[in-house]
Amino acid sequence: MKKLFMIAILALIGSAVYGQDYNTAIGVRGTFVSGLTVKHFIKEDTALEGILSFGRWGMNLTGLYEKHARAFETEGLNWYYGAGAHLGNWNDDYPQLDERGEFVVIGIDGIIGLEYKIQEIPISFSADYKPQLNFTGYPGFWGYGGALSIRYTF
């Protein structure tokens, strides 16, 4: 009976864990914050994502650890969430900075989103929300980090 129970539990866990059907994807992000994105799956349901975002305010390099799971029982559609950190260089062109000069920013990030991988072609689309909290440079919460991404998958 114990063996049957363990097999049932493992089957449930195995069916709940699902990642995208690609290993690596490279693309662009855009909305208020634009940039480049690279996502690589290290496990079936776990990915690492690197983002280089830039604008007239400067640039950020972000690394994220993300967990993926099937969304709405739809093949190719996953929701994901995760966390990470960023390092950036902001300048005085950013309208909310009271001081002048350049700032090195270091902080943490969160992310939650939906991603759809088109089965017939190697393209994925995602929409996410990625707030960040700066500890240095210009400390504080920045909640404008949502974006739409399109990636080539392989």
Looking at CATH, the fold of the domain delimited by 19-153 is given as: Porin (2.40.160)
| Higher pLDDT, residue 13 or 39 | 39
Kindly list the domain boundaries of the chain, sorted by start residue. 19-153
Global pTM reads 0.81
Instruction: For 9-19, write each residue's pLDDT tens digit.
Output: 333 334 344 45
Sign of CA dihedral 62, 66, 71, 74: positive
| Higher pLDDT, residue 119 or 144 | 119
Quickly state the pLDDT bin for 32 (edges 50, 70, 90): confident
Residue identified by tokens 């240095």 is 136
Please give the average per-residue pLDDT across 133-154, as a whole number. 92
CA–CA separation, 122 vs 124, rounded Å? 7
